[in-house]
Amino acid sequence: MEDRKLIYALERAKILEDLISSELEKRSIACHKGCPYCCYGVTLWITQAEALLISHYLNSLPLKKRKKLYKRLKDYVKAYREEARNFGLREERPVPKEKLDMETLGKVSALGLKDVPCPFLNTETLSCEIYPARPDMCRFTVYSDDKVCKQDWEDPLRFLWRDKILPFIEEIKERLSPKLNLQLMMLRSRYGDLDFYSLEETVAFITYRIKFDPVKKIFRC
């Protein structure tokens, strides 16, 4: 069953990647390797499908790298917990996506964790260490003007994320939604035995979903 879940997660990610890439080919997008603004101050809440993909990818990396990323994940969690407490956010366990307190999470990201890099950001090359397995939210986070992204990171209280970047992302999501829903429905019909509510409809903080096995030195979820 675990293997089937992973294969489902891999197929699902491919559908997302293909659809988003074909949509982005038609647009002028400023995102490029070395532009890290959306990789600072992220709060990584993910589904089980995303966790399967990420841990599978992490386990394909050399041991030295896995250990390094595990250490970064621990530092990031420490920073997150501290800031989440400051903002009154305690919940880390799975919650239905629609019940996630996006407003508080946004504040934790923009104000609390502003200078904290995502644990998967390589801060020397400014590239994503898990790019092929990055979370859904990263796949969708694109914008047409990197100067705006920089300004948003420098001063979150200008609300450029809310007023400019987010509507851009929402428009892309809306455009893709009919095709995406259809393709996901067809995919799900081939995996009828899986519990899609657990796989896709609930999110939890990344370290609730992904753990490191210190004996086998692999990530588990």
For binding to ligand SF4 (CB under 6 A), which residues are involved?
A: 39, 42, 118, 120-121, 128, 130, 134-135, 138
Amino acid at 174: E
Identify which of residues 116 and 199 has a Cβ nearer to ligand SF4 in the complex. 116
C-alpha span between 137 and 193 (Å, rounded):
26
Q: Which is nearer to ligand SF4, 39 or 108 (CB)?
A: 39
Report CA-CA distances (Å) from 148 to 64, 78, 128, 153, 173.
36, 29, 20, 9, 20
In angstroms, the CA 93 to CA 81 distance is: 13
Q: Closer CB to ligand SF4, residue 19 or residue 44?
A: 44
Question: Judged by CB, which is closer to ligand SF4: 19, or 130?
Answer: 130
Choose between 38 and 199: whose C-beta lies nearer to ligand SF4.
38
Smallest distance from ligand SF4 to CB 122, Å: 8
User: Are 63 and 217 within 8 A, CB to CB?
Assistant: yes
8 Å CB contact between 97 and 45: no
Residue 117 CB, shortest distance to ligand SF4, in Å, is 7
Cβ–Cβ under 8 Å, residues 46 and 204: yes
CB of residue 219 to ligand SF4, shortest distance in Å: 14
Amino acid of residue 180: L
Q: How far is the CB of 141 from ligand SF4 (least distance, A)?
A: 8
The answer to whether 151 and 37 have CB atoms below 8 angstroms apart is no
Answer whether 127's CB lies under 8 Å from 38's CB: no
CB of 208 vs ligand SF4, minimal distance in Å: 17
